[in-house]
Structure 1
């Protein structure tokens, strides 16, 4: 393949999406190492202490997407002492100083602070996706900064995080015109501003996936569905209404009118029998 121009080889490399395969490609020869280095857009690091952020930036200068894991998996069972580490702020700071155009950040079992999230919003103008899984240390103040300043945000996914909610108004910080495709805040325990939520959904014509927490009532769900018939995935934290109630009946009828929905989560007992629904829990 070395007989091909570098541009052709780079195009071929673009079709190789597996991180492991990309690593193997870079070991073939010096030329492939160079081309792979400059064309790699995403990196997964299974241990945030296995390499420094500066080395990652040097190795992959055109990086757009970063996935990081912090604490070991047994931290989920409270078997890791407090203060163990797993801080993401040094990574955000290093990327910000190097002026990497980061667009996507996926973190698992990391310590995330509001200061780190605010730095993220100030440093990466084209930021589009934030996924936090089993993270801690941040509040909805940091989420408000993400909502207000990341103008091209497409995905905000919060899974099993410990989040403090001192104000409960972070949803109202989203701008008037947004490109949001996926929103998941099912792990939040605080009350949600229903007016801000409904307004956000109405301003998000591209929204496909919406996962809500247990404080959103079924009556609000009905209004949300009427404003977002394009939803494909809808979830709510818990269901406490009687399946035969008028509220549930109205919700069923609304869901039946939404031909695009294929997945319902959190209210299995009231899920209507629709051919298009392939997943219901």
Structure 2
């Protein structure tokens, strides 16, 4: 019968709950919760995860959430993240008239002199609006409200202490993942976690400056049988003693991330000897030498991910041990490892044939020969990043294009010896390329990018920052051959309207576009982007001197999904254009603009989404 509610009268709560649990999209779940009160309550019961940013009253907020959501098992609190509040709707005409009449009455009966204490009142209101930090009381309320909690992230919650952590451990004994990055907790709280939370598998202690060896030793002893992942960074009082405890107790540890100048060979040797199931190892420890890396290569045969940052005591000896012993290695990052040369990389290439990702950043002794060995020996390579590699030339990428047919991602930054010939070989040999990011490679021009457009039909992301030899011809080929979702051509001053128009016509799925510092692009390109790219979410127009308010009108007319717009140093964009973006884009969340171009009316309408290039001092 028409108008009859068949769903609520027929389906039981359990079935509707199961339907809600199968929704992957949060907006879809939110929309369902607005149907009726029953669906609202059931949708709250189906939620298992909460994500919370900064709040002016976090303790009260946590208590409120605990009453509304009863089956939460995962909570993520990151106090670095701002809360995006909805833009206030413009006041009605009647309301404005009433306010004006009220002000007129007040001005006629009260002296124009400001009352004493008005500045103090305004200051107190501003202080009240500033976000505060979650306290121990809030953490206690969280633990009481969500006793089934299994995963908790407290990112930069600076007011949390050991007392709150003890309360959490006592009430959430099923905790499996705990992230305390940037929290100034003490040893007593961490000891309580080790003593009570026997199921803990993941622990992140990065930037926990209040900890010492005592706290980490206690948690290693208490959770040694369950702990699988550990992260430590910038903790001056955590030394080799802690790592020895980890090696002695945490036999099933699979992931270890260390960033400390207080860890030496002794600590890492203990980990290598005790944690032989290690799969991921990320190190930034300047006092660790080849002896420790040789132990890792010899003892940790299951290693799959190895990242070495800023090492000046690692040489090819350590890399040879990794190549010889870690046959399962799939992901290798070498950053600022000055004494690793082509021989070390060749040893990895010959021994680690399952390698799928390689990043070389600022390793000045690694050149063409080392990368050629990767191309010949690692056919499964799918991602390659070369940053500040001045000694790697075109022939290295010739071998990559010839031997690594599965390559999907290529990053090139400041590689002055790599040019069009290399990009052509990559395009011809790697047709499955999906992401190509090139920055400040001044030998790359139209010829290489045209080849990419002709051969790499799956390309979804293209970035050509400050490649000043790339022009319209390259983008025309890409627009004809690829369906991009992201494009960044910032600083490519030879690109004008023709290139961007080709992209707009050929890439209807485009969501992110950065055309900053394009002096030859104007309103014609903006009109085509508006008509051809309805899914555009982010656009960067900074330093585009030819774009005017007219171009913005065309852009905003069809790009209703736009969320972010940067347009600083655009001299022909006025306050009218800013108002057009704010009023014409219902989903807009951030507008970056000079302060003097924002009128009072625009500030009242959308002040919370406007970011200024310069702030008055």
TM-score class, shorter-chain normalisation, is: 0.7 to 0.9
Tell me the distance in 2 between the aligned counterparts of 1:176 and 1:242: 28
Q: Which residue of 2 aligns with 1:278?
A: 357
CA–CA separation in structure 1 for the residues paired with 2:319 and 2:199: 43
With over 3 angstroms needed to count, the CA separation of the structure-2 counterparts of 1:253 and 1:199, relative to structure 1, is closer
Establish whether residue 47 from structure 1 lines up as the match of residue 58 from structure 2.
Answer: no
Q: How far off its partner does 1:140 sit?
A: 4.2
Query: What do the CA deviations read for 1:95-150 (whole angstroms, capped 9, x no partner)?
Result: 44456132222232232202443344455443333345655543443333332323
Does residue 30 of the first structure (1) align with residue 37 of the second (2)? Answer: yes
**Aligned residue number for residue 75 of structure 2:** 66
Structure 2 CA distance for aligned equivalents of residues 117 and 90 of structure 1: 18
- 2: distance between equivalents of 1:71 and 1:43? 16
- Deviation at residue 45 of structure 1 after TM alignment: 0.7
* Residue 154 of structure 1: aligned partner: 228
CA contact (8 A) 1:106 1:132 kept: no
1:236 and 2:308 correspond: yes
Aligned positions of 1:160-171 closer than 5 A: 161-165=233-237, 167-171=239-243
Alignment partners' CA distance in 2, 1:41 and 1:9: 16
Q: Name 2:275's counterpart in structure 1.
A: 201
Tell me: CA distance 1:129–1:190, structure 2 relative to 1, closer, same or farther (3 Å): same
> C-alpha root-mean-square deviation of aligned residues, in Å?
3.5
- Of 260, 263, 268, the residue aligned with 2:332 is 263
| TM superposition score normalised by structure 2 | 0.37
1:117 corresponds, among 178, 185, 190, to 190
Alpha-carbon distance between aligned partners in 1 of 2:207 and 2:319, rounded to the nearest angstrom: 35
Q: Secondary structure at the match of 2:275?
A: helix
> 1:248 Cα deviation (Å)?
4.1
SS state of the match for residue 183, structure 1? strand
CA spacing shift, 1:177–1:130, aligned 2, 3 Å = closer
Q: Which residue of 2 aligns with 1:127?
A: 200
Contact 1:261 1:276 in 2 (8 A): yes
* Alpha-carbon distance in structure 2 between the residues aligned to 1:4 and 1:279: 53
Moved over 6 A (4+): none
Larger radius of gyration: 2
Higher relative contact order (CA 8 A, sep 6+): 1
Alpha carbons 1:216, 1:236 under 8 Å: kept: no
Aligned ranges for residues 131-146 of structure 1 at < 5 Å? Answer: 131=204, 136-146=209-219
Structure 1 contact 110–134 (Cα < 8 Å) conserved: no
What SS is found at the alignment partner of 1:264?
strand
Conservation of the 8 A alpha-carbon contact between 2:209 and 2:236: no
Partner of 2:497: none
Residue 225 (1) aligns with residue 297 (2): yes
Cα distance in 2 for partners of 1:16, 1:49 equals 31
Q: Is the 2:67–2:145 Cα contact (8 Å) retained in structure 1?
A: no
Question: Matched residue of 1:226: which SS?
Answer: helix
Structure 1, unpaired ranges of 5+: 74-83
Q: Distance in 1 between the 2:139 and 2:258 partners?
A: 23
The residue that corresponds to 1:7 in the other structure is 14
1:176 to partner: Cα distance: 4.0
Which residue of 1 is the match for residue 245 of structure 2?
173
**Paired residues of 2:331 and 2:356 also in contact (CA < 8 A):** yes
Task: Kindly indicate whether the alpha-carbon contact (under 8 Å) linking 2:294 and 2:318 is maintained by their aligned counterparts in 1.
Answer: no
| Number of equivalenced pairs | 262
Structure 1 residue 72, shift from structure 2 partner: 6.2
> Taking structure 1 as the reference length, what is the TM-score of the superposition?
0.73
